[in-house]
Amino acid sequence: MSKQQPHKARKRFGQNFLHDHGVIRRIVACIGPKKGQRLVEIGPGKGALTEGIISVTERMDVVELDRDLIPILKVNLFRFPELTVHEADAMKFDFTSLRTEEQAIRVVGNLPYNISTPLIFHLLSQASAIEDMHFMLQKEVVDRLAARPGDSLYGRLSVMAQYYCAVESLFIVGPESFDPAPKVDSAIVRMTPYKTLPFPVDNIKKMEDMVRTGFQQRRKTLRNNYKGVLDNDDFTALNIDPSLRPERLDVEDFVRITNYVLKKEG
Protein backbone atom coordinates (compact mmCIF):
# COMPACT_ATOMS: atom_id res chain seq x y z
CA MET A 1 0.00 0.00 0.00
CA SER A 2 2.68 2.49 1.03
CA LYS A 3 4.62 2.03 -2.24
CA GLN A 4 1.80 3.65 -4.22
CA GLN A 5 2.20 6.93 -2.34
CA PRO A 6 3.99 9.78 -4.14
CA HIS A 7 6.25 10.66 -1.21
CA LYS A 8 9.97 10.75 -1.98
CA ALA A 9 12.20 9.44 0.83
CA ARG A 10 14.21 12.23 2.46
CA LYS A 11 17.77 11.57 3.47
CA ARG A 12 17.88 14.41 5.97
CA PHE A 13 15.04 12.72 7.92
CA GLY A 14 16.84 9.37 7.83
CA GLN A 15 14.01 7.81 5.84
CA ASN A 16 14.39 4.13 4.99
CA PHE A 17 10.92 2.63 4.88
CA LEU A 18 10.38 -0.98 5.89
CA HIS A 19 8.60 -3.00 3.22
CA ASP A 20 9.42 -6.58 4.21
CA HIS A 21 6.25 -7.95 5.78
CA GLY A 22 8.07 -10.92 7.32
CA VAL A 23 10.45 -8.55 9.15
CA ILE A 24 7.58 -6.28 10.20
CA ARG A 25 5.69 -9.27 11.67
CA ARG A 26 8.82 -10.43 13.48
CA ILE A 27 9.42 -7.00 15.03
CA VAL A 28 5.80 -6.72 16.18
CA ALA A 29 6.05 -10.24 17.67
CA CYS A 30 9.18 -9.20 19.62
CA ILE A 31 7.37 -6.11 20.92
CA GLY A 32 4.35 -8.22 21.88
CA PRO A 33 1.82 -5.36 22.19
CA LYS A 34 -1.26 -5.93 24.33
CA LYS A 35 -4.65 -4.28 24.18
CA GLY A 36 -4.78 -1.11 26.29
CA GLN A 37 -1.01 -0.62 26.58
CA ARG A 38 0.44 2.83 25.89
CA LEU A 39 2.61 2.33 22.83
CA VAL A 40 4.49 5.34 21.43
CA GLU A 41 6.21 5.17 18.05
CA ILE A 42 8.99 7.50 16.94
CA GLY A 43 9.00 8.18 13.19
CA PRO A 44 5.98 6.14 12.03
CA GLY A 45 6.59 7.15 8.41
CA LYS A 46 3.77 5.64 6.36
CA GLY A 47 2.77 3.29 9.16
CA ALA A 48 4.60 0.05 8.35
CA LEU A 49 5.06 -0.86 12.02
CA THR A 50 2.21 1.25 13.36
CA GLU A 51 -0.50 -0.83 11.75
CA GLY A 52 0.62 -4.14 13.26
CA ILE A 53 0.75 -2.56 16.71
CA ILE A 54 -2.39 -0.45 16.75
CA SER A 55 -4.50 -3.29 15.42
CA VAL A 56 -3.78 -4.95 18.79
CA THR A 57 -3.57 -1.99 21.20
CA GLU A 58 -6.37 -0.02 19.44
CA ARG A 59 -4.77 3.24 20.58
CA MET A 60 -1.34 4.66 19.96
CA ASP A 61 0.69 7.88 19.99
CA VAL A 62 3.19 8.57 17.22
CA VAL A 63 5.78 11.34 16.86
CA GLU A 64 6.65 12.30 13.28
CA LEU A 65 8.74 15.24 12.11
CA ASP A 66 8.08 15.11 8.35
CA ARG A 67 4.77 16.92 7.94
CA ASP A 68 4.38 15.63 4.37
CA LEU A 69 4.14 12.06 5.68
CA ILE A 70 1.37 12.77 8.15
CA PRO A 71 -1.55 12.88 5.67
CA ILE A 72 -0.28 9.65 4.08
CA LEU A 73 -0.08 8.02 7.51
CA LYS A 74 -3.58 9.17 8.38
CA VAL A 75 -5.02 7.79 5.13
CA ASN A 76 -3.20 4.48 5.57
CA LEU A 77 -4.46 4.16 9.16
CA PHE A 78 -7.90 5.77 8.83
CA ARG A 79 -9.47 2.70 10.43
CA PHE A 80 -7.93 3.59 13.78
CA PRO A 81 -9.60 6.67 15.29
CA GLU A 82 -7.49 6.43 18.43
CA LEU A 83 -4.23 7.08 16.64
CA THR A 84 -2.80 10.35 18.01
CA VAL A 85 -0.24 11.96 15.71
CA HIS A 86 2.20 14.44 17.27
CA GLU A 87 3.85 16.50 14.55
CA ALA A 88 7.05 17.09 16.46
CA ASP A 89 10.78 16.55 16.73
CA ALA A 90 11.35 13.45 18.87
CA MET A 91 14.63 15.01 20.05
CA LYS A 92 12.63 17.71 21.83
CA PHE A 93 9.55 15.67 22.70
CA ASP A 94 8.54 15.21 26.33
CA PHE A 95 7.78 11.48 26.40
CA THR A 96 7.00 11.63 30.13
CA SER A 97 3.87 13.62 29.24
CA LEU A 98 2.37 10.43 27.74
CA ARG A 99 2.70 8.24 30.79
CA THR A 100 -0.16 7.98 33.27
CA GLU A 101 0.00 7.24 36.97
CA GLU A 102 -0.91 3.62 36.31
CA GLN A 103 0.91 3.00 33.03
CA ALA A 104 4.42 3.62 31.81
CA ILE A 105 4.86 3.96 28.05
CA ARG A 106 6.39 1.44 25.64
CA VAL A 107 8.49 3.19 23.00
CA VAL A 108 9.17 1.69 19.57
CA GLY A 109 10.60 2.85 16.27
CA ASN A 110 12.61 2.22 13.18
CA LEU A 111 14.71 5.21 14.15
CA PRO A 112 16.16 7.81 11.79
CA TYR A 113 19.79 6.66 11.79
CA ASN A 114 21.27 10.15 11.59
CA ILE A 115 20.02 11.05 15.08
CA SER A 116 19.76 7.66 16.76
CA THR A 117 22.49 8.11 19.39
CA PRO A 118 21.42 11.56 20.70
CA LEU A 119 17.81 10.37 20.57
CA ILE A 120 18.65 7.38 22.76
CA PHE A 121 20.36 9.70 25.27
CA HIS A 122 17.24 11.90 25.23
CA LEU A 123 15.07 8.83 25.98
CA LEU A 124 17.39 7.51 28.68
CA SER A 125 16.96 10.80 30.54
CA GLN A 126 13.22 9.97 30.64
CA ALA A 127 13.69 6.27 31.44
CA SER A 128 11.55 6.38 34.59
CA ALA A 129 8.45 6.94 32.40
CA ILE A 130 9.30 4.05 30.07
CA GLU A 131 8.51 0.36 30.50
CA ASP A 132 10.58 -0.78 27.54
CA MET A 133 11.94 0.29 24.14
CA HIS A 134 12.29 -1.65 20.89
CA PHE A 135 14.29 0.00 18.14
CA MET A 136 15.60 -0.74 14.70
CA LEU A 137 19.05 0.82 14.46
CA GLN A 138 22.23 0.46 12.48
CA LYS A 139 23.67 -2.87 13.60
CA GLU A 140 26.81 -1.12 14.80
CA VAL A 141 24.79 1.08 17.17
CA VAL A 142 23.01 -1.99 18.56
CA ASP A 143 26.40 -3.66 19.04
CA ARG A 144 27.59 -0.57 20.94
CA LEU A 145 24.49 -0.51 23.14
CA ALA A 146 24.83 -4.20 24.03
CA ALA A 147 28.68 -4.37 24.25
CA ARG A 148 30.20 -5.78 27.43
CA PRO A 149 33.42 -4.60 29.14
CA GLY A 150 36.40 -5.63 27.03
CA ASP A 151 34.47 -5.68 23.72
CA SER A 152 35.94 -3.45 21.03
CA LEU A 153 32.71 -1.42 20.72
CA TYR A 154 32.24 -0.96 24.49
CA GLY A 155 32.16 2.75 25.31
CA ARG A 156 30.14 5.70 26.55
CA LEU A 157 26.89 4.58 24.86
CA SER A 158 27.18 1.04 26.33
CA VAL A 159 27.84 2.30 29.86
CA MET A 160 25.06 4.90 29.91
CA ALA A 161 22.49 2.59 28.27
CA GLN A 162 23.36 -0.24 30.66
CA TYR A 163 23.26 2.10 33.66
CA TYR A 164 19.52 2.57 33.00
CA CYS A 165 18.50 -0.54 31.10
CA ALA A 166 18.90 -4.24 30.44
CA VAL A 167 19.93 -4.32 26.78
CA GLU A 168 19.29 -7.23 24.39
CA SER A 169 20.26 -7.44 20.75
CA LEU A 170 17.42 -9.40 19.10
CA PHE A 171 18.05 -9.95 15.38
CA ILE A 172 19.74 -8.54 12.29
CA VAL A 173 17.85 -7.08 9.31
CA GLY A 174 19.54 -6.76 5.92
CA PRO A 175 19.37 -3.65 3.68
CA GLU A 176 16.97 -5.32 1.21
CA SER A 177 14.11 -5.04 3.72
CA PHE A 178 14.02 -1.23 3.28
CA ASP A 179 13.17 1.24 0.58
CA PRO A 180 15.54 2.89 -0.16
CA ALA A 181 18.05 0.27 0.99
CA PRO A 182 20.61 1.60 3.51
CA LYS A 183 24.29 0.78 2.97
CA VAL A 184 24.69 -1.22 6.18
CA ASP A 185 22.96 -3.94 8.19
CA SER A 186 20.40 -2.99 10.80
CA ALA A 187 19.40 -4.76 14.00
CA ILE A 188 16.60 -4.77 16.54
CA VAL A 189 17.37 -3.95 20.14
CA ARG A 190 15.23 -4.25 23.27
CA MET A 191 16.05 -1.91 26.14
CA THR A 192 14.21 -2.40 29.42
CA PRO A 193 14.75 0.32 32.04
CA TYR A 194 15.36 -1.08 35.52
CA LYS A 195 12.53 -0.35 37.95
CA THR A 196 15.20 -0.13 40.66
CA LEU A 197 18.63 0.87 39.40
CA PRO A 198 21.18 -1.84 40.29
CA PHE A 199 23.94 0.74 40.89
CA PRO A 200 22.42 4.16 41.58
CA VAL A 201 24.70 7.15 41.27
CA ASP A 202 24.39 10.28 43.43
CA ASN A 203 24.45 12.69 40.47
CA ILE A 204 23.75 11.49 36.93
CA LYS A 205 25.25 14.55 35.22
CA LYS A 206 28.50 13.88 37.05
CA MET A 207 28.38 10.24 35.95
CA GLU A 208 27.97 11.34 32.31
CA ASP A 209 31.02 13.62 32.76
CA MET A 210 33.10 10.90 34.37
CA VAL A 211 32.23 8.35 31.66
CA ARG A 212 33.01 10.89 28.92
CA THR A 213 36.34 11.74 30.58
CA GLY A 214 37.15 8.06 31.12
CA PHE A 215 36.70 7.26 27.43
CA GLN A 216 38.27 10.47 26.11
CA GLN A 217 41.20 8.50 24.74
CA ARG A 218 40.18 4.89 24.78
CA ARG A 219 43.65 3.57 24.00
CA LYS A 220 45.15 5.39 26.99
CA THR A 221 45.11 4.19 30.59
CA LEU A 222 42.72 5.31 33.28
CA ARG A 223 45.63 7.13 34.94
CA ASN A 224 46.02 9.23 31.80
CA ASN A 225 42.36 9.89 31.15
CA TYR A 226 41.68 10.83 34.78
CA LYS A 227 44.80 12.98 35.19
CA GLY A 228 43.95 15.88 37.54
CA VAL A 229 40.79 14.04 38.71
CA LEU A 230 42.11 10.86 40.37
CA ASP A 231 45.61 10.24 41.73
CA ASN A 232 47.28 6.97 42.71
CA ASP A 233 45.86 7.11 46.25
CA ASP A 234 42.38 7.55 44.84
CA PHE A 235 42.80 4.51 42.57
CA THR A 236 44.01 2.52 45.58
CA ALA A 237 41.01 3.64 47.64
CA LEU A 238 38.73 2.63 44.76
CA ASN A 239 40.57 -0.67 44.30
CA ILE A 240 40.87 0.02 40.55
CA ASP A 241 44.10 -0.61 38.65
CA PRO A 242 45.07 2.75 37.02
CA SER A 243 47.03 1.01 34.27
CA LEU A 244 43.83 -0.47 32.82
CA ARG A 245 42.14 0.95 29.76
CA PRO A 246 38.65 2.43 30.24
CA GLU A 247 36.96 -0.40 28.32
CA ARG A 248 37.77 -2.74 31.24
CA LEU A 249 35.46 -0.89 33.67
CA ASP A 250 31.87 -1.98 34.12
CA VAL A 251 28.87 0.19 35.02
CA GLU A 252 29.39 -0.40 38.73
CA ASP A 253 33.02 0.79 38.50
CA PHE A 254 31.95 4.05 36.81
CA VAL A 255 29.27 4.56 39.48
CA ARG A 256 31.86 4.00 42.25
CA ILE A 257 34.29 6.43 40.59
CA THR A 258 31.55 9.05 40.26
CA ASN A 259 30.30 8.74 43.85
CA TYR A 260 33.91 8.82 45.09
CA VAL A 261 34.72 12.02 43.14
CA LEU A 262 31.48 13.66 44.31
CA LYS A 263 32.44 12.90 47.93
CA LYS A 264 36.00 14.10 47.38
CA GLU A 265 34.75 17.38 45.90
CA GLY A 266 32.41 17.76 48.87
Asked if residue 224 lies in contact with residue 192, where contact means CB atoms within 8 angstroms, the answer is: no
Binds ligand SAM (CB under 6 A): choice among 23, 28, 44, 83:
44
**CA angle at residue 168 from 250 to 137, to 5 degrees?**
105
Report the distance separating Cα 80 and Cα 63, nearest Å: 16
Nearest by Cα to 16 from 186, 142, 172, 158: 186
Residue 150 annotated as binding site: no
87-95, 126-134, 232-240, 255-263 -> range binding ligand SAM (CB under 6 A): 87-95
Report the distance separating Cα 60 and Cα 40, nearest Å: 6
Q: 137-161 burial string, b = 16+ CB within 10 Å, else e?
A: bbbebbbbbbbeeeeebbbbbbbbb
Chain centroid offset of residue 98 CA: 18
Q: Residue 199, interface with ligand SAM (CB under 6 A)?
A: no
- In the bound state with ligand SAM, the residue whose beta carbon lies nearer, of 158 and 186, is 186
CB of 158 to ligand SAM, least distance (A): 23
62-70, 159-167, 229-237, 246-254 -> range binding ligand SAM (CB under 6 A): 62-70
The SS3 of residue 182 is coil
59-67, 184-192, 209-217, 242-250 -> range binding ligand SAM (CB under 6 A): 59-67
Binds ligand SAM (CB under 6 A): choice among 48, 120, 167, 173:
48
CB of 211 to ligand SAM, least distance (A): 25
Burial class (CB in 10 A: 0-12, 13-18, 19+), 247: buried
Asked if residue 41 lies in contact with residue 63, where contact means CB atoms within 8 angstroms, the answer is: yes
- Of 89-128, binders to ligand SAM (CB under 6 A) are 89-91, 110, 112, 115
Binds ligand SAM (CB under 6 A): choice among 69, 72, 104, 159:
69
61-69, 126-134, 153-161, 243-251 -> range binding ligand SAM (CB under 6 A): 61-69
Q: Count residues near ligand SAM (CB under 6 A).
A: 23
Q: Residue 37, interface with ligand SAM (CB under 6 A)?
A: no
Report the distance separating Cα 53 and Cα 47, nearest Å: 10
For residue 211, the tally of other CB atoms under 10 A from its CB is 24
Q: Which parts are annotated binding residues? A: 16, 18, 43, 64, 89, 110
Which residues of the chain form contacts with ligand SAM (CB under 6 A)? 13-18, 42-45, 48-49, 63-66, 69, 89-91, 110, 112, 115
Q: Which parts are annotated binding residues for S-adenosyl-L-methionine? A: 16, 18, 43, 64, 89, 110
